[in-house]
Amino acid sequence: MRALLLVAVALGASMAGCAIPLFKEPTEQVVEGRTDGYAPGSSLLKVFVRDNASGEFRVAAFDRRDWYAARIADDIDHGLVRFLRVEAMPRATLGEYLVLDVESPDALAAYRYDRMDASAARRQEMDDEYGALLARLGGAVAGDDEPAGLPDLAAS
């Protein structure tokens, strides 16, 4: 009898326009930790971030349409980015987050295209730099919709 009453209440609420959400909307999250390399894809630069507290890896994905991804990769290569703290939205792939803004190192925040005063020609040059990075590494290392392989923990 109780089950029948609960079903009737749920149906009545949904018919009255009070929808009960089945899935929680994703919310912005902070991803932070030590950087441990990257994997460039055709449109995303995926940076591996090891969480300081848990030791687990997360992937901070920089969309190359929004970020000067070649410069970010270059800074990682030169040891200028050892720690990363970003505001991001979860992606469909578990453990991956699309970067919205960079908090630390704060110099990376300036690599967001909407903060740069770059002409169309300069943006094309930056895009070509990313293409050269892909070519140097043998093409797209990680596809945009497939998870990037996590770094080898034994090598760390």
| Calpha distance 12→19 (Å, rounded) | 10
The whole-number pLDDT of residue 125 equals: 95
Under the banding of pLDDT at 50, 70 and 90, the label for residue 7 is very low
* Residue 84: exposure state from Cβ atoms within 10 A (0-12, 13-18, ≥19): buried
| Calpha distance 19→156 (Å, rounded) | 48
Domains, the chain: 29-142 (2.40.50.140)
| Calpha distance 30→130 (Å, rounded) | 26
Using DSSP, state whether 139 is helix, strand or coil: coil
Query: First vs last Cα of the chain: how many Å apart?
Result: 60
pTM of the model: 0.75
Average pLDDT over residues 40-46: 93
- Please name the amino acid found at residue 152: D
pLDDT digits (tens, 9 = 90+) for 51-73: 888 889 999 999 999 999 999 99
Which is more confident, 142 or 43? 43
Under the banding of pLDDT at 50, 70 and 90, the label for residue 154 is very low
pLDDT reading at 15 higher than 60: no
Mean pLDDT score across all residues of the chain? 82
Sequence-distant (≥ 6) Cβ neighbours of residue 144 within 8 angstroms: 41, 42, 43, 44
* Of 23-37, 76-90, 105-119, the least confident: 23-37
The whole-number pLDDT of residue 83 equals: 96
The whole-number pLDDT of residue 1 equals: 53
pLDDT digits (tens, 9 = 90+) for 110-145: 999 999 988 889 999 999 999 999 999 876 555 555
pLDDT reading at 18 higher than 80: no
Under the banding of pLDDT at 50, 70 and 90, the label for residue 6 is very low
